């Protein structure tokens, strides 16, 4: 049916649909369906593979003992040459009546044919034939006829093969019956089973493991895949998996070599397919230095460490964000540290210039520097008065006068912080008037704090405007935010340090303070750090979030503050998809907090490759 194409596709479609319990199919719909290119293509592919399997099976089951296959048309012609009784026009039996493995030699058949032609000339031949009741009987070589043993109840069988007389040579004849060709035809080569292969895309510098997807009607095994080594991968034929770490991106032409599982010796075939290795997103980020001649230019990255009073150390680092590095923009963040205050105070500040303000990097620099300097001076001036207010509050915070003592302390802190907020706003305003008169071009946030050991406790006061985070932290025990993040109506919006922020009420409500016997650190950070590490303002209130953050920060601490600041700078290059802003971190910590393990390359969120300044991000 397949070779003649007699309604082949329609019959196949009918057989499948009826077999799968879809009897309500009209002939008209079936005809249209079977004529579609998709159906015919699928049936052709199935038929080729089916015939290949049949040929292989025939060969395996002993094709040597089977009659050589002939085309259907030729077999039909041979059948038409014989009558309904199975004999040809010459009266000879059909070859099919003799088993194909018969031992009857061709020469004997020729002798019998010759004797039949000569039986009219054999003396008393007719009489003998009639005696034996078989007019068609064939005499043996000695002229006698086979004895009919049917009457004796014995099974009738073929006569013994006649023995050819040495001097008897039958006359030549051209009337030979159609014989059987017992010669074995050479086996046709196995047709290639059609197969498709697929692997998931890989990414450069990322570990890769994927099972090879195989689509083939036959049960095959893939023994080898060539071309994988160019991508830095290898194939395991036992597990049918591809593993490795791709070394370069691109489209790779692979070739899978496969064979039948049931008969590995039937042949080996190959099929090409495409494998894609995507570039590592990190490699797509550019590192373009900022223009040193740009207005208010500054280093793309900065770090600093200082020894404080007693066991305390100060370290800070600021790293240009990848969004700025990709276009050669300037770093907008800044920080400032003061550890040499004569009255024993430590001052730390971080600031984040608004991304939409073209000179915000200068606004951030002025805010952090000027606020820290003014605050340190005011703390020296108010040192005795302020310390007395702190001690009174510490001693009476649990008593009846707690509220009164708290208000007295807040007023003392306001006197210290008021000018620290006002002076940077004043300086920025004067600078803006000299440029284009627009203060908004210098918008920045400001997180400012002061620390001193007073009595037996660690006292910390802070001022916070904008986003980011400022906190007093005790490992596993305590977290106290010294303010709250200013969020706008939309993501990324915040409040900035501007003339409206210097009113008495505004300053006073933003001042917070805390005191504890022991703390692990005071931490200040811009939103380039707080956003990827805490994600939400609510998480800034959670102790477990800060404990997790501290596990990443603590290994960076060193007995030398300058080394700590360098570790911070490397660590600030952590990868966080979607977070590409400038990152600034300042930490006040005591020497006993140092763990002694200070590798910036080992924390879980640092890439395996060493971070260098200007590396990219996803």
pLDDT in tens, 75-91: 445 444 434 444 434 33
DSSP conformational letter for 567: H
- What is the mean pLDDT of the segment spanning 409-437? 95
pLDDT in tens, 2-16: 444 557 777 777 777
More confident residue, 51 or 70: 51
Q: Which two tokens stand for residue 253?
A: 């032409």
User: Would the CA dihedral through 531, 534, 535, 541 be positive or negative?
Assistant: negative
Confidence (pLDDT) at 608? 36
Confidence (pLDDT) at 6? 56
pTM of the model: 0.63
CA–CA distances in Å: residue 519 to residues 451, 458, 471: 11, 7, 11
- What is the mean pLDDT of the segment spanning 221-239? 95
How crowded is residue 444: how many other Cβ atoms within 10 Å of its Cβ?
Answer: 29
Residue 400 has pLDDT above 70, yes or no: yes
Residue 133 has pLDDT above 50, yes or no: no
Return the H-helix or E-strand segment holding 513: strand 511-516
Q: 394 near 515, Cβ under 8 Å? A: yes
Residue 299 has pLDDT above 80, yes or no: yes
Confidence bin at 124 (pLDDT 50/70/90): very low
Confidence bin at 315 (pLDDT 50/70/90): very high
Confidence (pLDDT) at 230? 93
Confidence (pLDDT) at 118? 44
Q: 361 near 332, Cβ under 8 Å? A: yes
- What is the mean pLDDT of the segment spanning 480-491? 78
Confidence bin at 40 (pLDDT 50/70/90): confident
Confidence (pLDDT) at 381? 95
Residue 309 three-state SS: coil
- What is the mean pLDDT of the segment spanning 467-477? 97
Instruction: Specify which of 48-52, 468-472, 489-493 reaches the highest per-range mean pLDDT.
Output: 468-472
Question: Rounded distance, CA 118 to CA 238, Å?
Answer: 73
H helical segments located in 20-96:
27-34, 37-60, 72-80
Q: 441 near 429, Cβ under 8 Å? A: no
Question: Rounded distance, CA 281 to CA 476, Å?
Answer: 36
Confidence (pLDDT) at 296? 96
Residue 496 has pLDDT above 80, yes or no: yes
Angle at 429 between CA 428 and CA 430, to 5 degrees: 90
Confidence bin at 604 (pLDDT 50/70/90): very low
Confidence bin at 392 (pLDDT 50/70/90): very high
Q: What share of the chain is helix, strand, coil (3-state, %, to 5)?
A: 35, 20, 45
Cβ-Cβ contacts under 8 Å for 385 (sequence gap 6 or more): 412
Confidence (pLDDT) at 21? 52
Confidence (pLDDT) at 14? 74
Q: Which two tokens stand for residue 473?
A: 């932290």
Residue 445 has pLDDT above 60, yes or no: yes
pLDDT in tens, 523-539: 999 999 999 999 999 99
Q: Which two tokens stand for residue 77?
A: 């012609």
β-strand partners of 522: 472, 588
pLDDT in tens, 345-381: 999 999 999 998 999 999 999 999 999 999 999 999 9
Q: 523 near 514, Cβ under 8 Å? A: no
pLDDT in tens, 101-119: 433 344 434 444 443 444 4
Mean pLDDT check: name the lowest of 284-298, 307-321, 392-406. Answer: 392-406
Residue 471's Cβ-side half-sphere holds a number of Cα atoms within 13 Å equal to 28
Cα separation of the two ends of the chain: 60
Confidence bin at 560 (pLDDT 50/70/90): very high
User: Would the CA dihedral through 55, 57, 62, 66 be positive or negative?
Assistant: negative
Question: Rounded distance, CA 163 to CA 34, Å?
Answer: 63
Residue 352 backbone zone (phi > 0: left; psi -120 to 50: alpha; other: beta)? beta
What domains does the chain contain, in order, with CATH numbers? 1-41 (no CATH), 104-143 (no CATH), 197-279 (2.60.40.10), 301-593 (3.60.40.10)
Closest by CA to 303, choosing from 595, 615, 585, 609, is: 585
């Amino acid at each position: 049916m397949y070779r003649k194409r007699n309604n082949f596709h329609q019959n196949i479609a009918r057989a499948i649909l009826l077999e799968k319990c879809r009897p309500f199919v009209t002939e008209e719909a079936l005809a249209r369906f079977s004529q579609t290119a998709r159906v015919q293509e699928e049936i052709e592919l199935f038929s080729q593979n089916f015939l290949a399997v049949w040929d292989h099976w025939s060969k395996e089951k002993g094709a040597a003992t089977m009659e050589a296959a002939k085309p259907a048309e030729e077999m039909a012609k041979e059948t038409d040459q014989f009558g309904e009784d199975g004999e040809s026009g010459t009266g000879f039996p059909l070859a099919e009546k003799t088993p194909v493995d018969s031992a009857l030699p061709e020469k004997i058949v020729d002798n019998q044919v010759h004797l039949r032609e000569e039986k009219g000339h054999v003396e008393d031949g007719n009489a003998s034939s009639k005696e034996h009741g078989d007019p068609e009987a064939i005499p043996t070589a000695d002229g006698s006829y086979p004895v009919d043993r049917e009457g004796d109840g014995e099974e009738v069988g073929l006569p013994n093969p006649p023995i050819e007389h040495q001097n008897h040579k039958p006359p030549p004849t051209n009337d030979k019956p159609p014989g059987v060709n017992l010669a074995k035809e050479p086996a046709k080569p196995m047709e290639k089973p059609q197969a498709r292969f697929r692997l998931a895309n890989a990414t450069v510098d990322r570990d890769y493991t994927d099972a090879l997807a195989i689509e083939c009607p036959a049960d095959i095994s893939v023994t080898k895949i060539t071309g994988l080594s160019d991508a830095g991968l290898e194939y395991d034929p036992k597990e049918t998996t591809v593993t490795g770490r791709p070394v370069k991106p691109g489209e790779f032409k692979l070739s899978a070599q496969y064979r039948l599982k049931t008969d590995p010796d039937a042949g080996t075939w190959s099929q090409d397919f495409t494998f894609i290795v995507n570039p590592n997103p990190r490699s797509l980020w550019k590192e373009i230095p900022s223009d040193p001649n740009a207005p208010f230019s500054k280093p793309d990255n900065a770090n600093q460490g200082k020894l404080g009073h007693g066991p305390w150390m100060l370290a800070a680092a600021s790293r240009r964000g990848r969004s700025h590095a990709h276009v050669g923009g300037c770093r907008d963040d800044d920080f400032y540290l003061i550890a040499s205050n004569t009255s024993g105070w430590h001052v730390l500040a971080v600031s984040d210039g608004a991304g939409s303000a073209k000179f915000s990097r200068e606004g951030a620099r002025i805010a952090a520097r000027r606020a820290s300097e003014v605050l340190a001076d005011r703390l020296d001036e108010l040192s005795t008065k302020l310390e007395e207010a702190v001690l009174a509050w510490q001693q009476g915070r649990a008593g009846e006068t707690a509220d009164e003592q708290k208000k007295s302390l807040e007023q003392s802190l306001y006197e210290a912080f008021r000018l620290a907020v006002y002076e940077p706003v004043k300086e920025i305003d004067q600078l803006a008037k000299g440029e284009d008169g627009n203060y908004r071009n210098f918008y920045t946030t400001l997180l400012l704090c002061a620390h001193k050991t007073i009595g037996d406790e660690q006292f910390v006061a802070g001022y916070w405007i904008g986003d980011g985070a400022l906190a007093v932290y005790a490992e596993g025990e305590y977290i106290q935010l010294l303010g709250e993040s200013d969020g706008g109506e939309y993501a990324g919006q915040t409040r900035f340090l501007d003339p409206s922020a210097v009113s008495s009420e505004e300053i006073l409500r933003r001042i917070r303070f805390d005191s504890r016997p022991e703390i692990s650190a005071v931490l200040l950070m811009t939103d380039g750090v707080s956003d990827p590490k805490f994600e939400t303002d609510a998480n800034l209130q959670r102790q477990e979030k800060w404990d997790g953050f501290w596990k990443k920060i603590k290994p960076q601490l060193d007995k030398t503050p300058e080394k700590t600041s360098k570790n911070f700078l490397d660590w600030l290059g952590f990868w966080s998809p979607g977070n590409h802003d400038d990152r600034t971190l300042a930490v006040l910590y005591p020497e006993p907090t140092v763990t002694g393990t200070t590798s910036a390359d080992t924390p879980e969120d640092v890439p395996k490759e060493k971070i260098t300044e200007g590396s990219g991000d996803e």
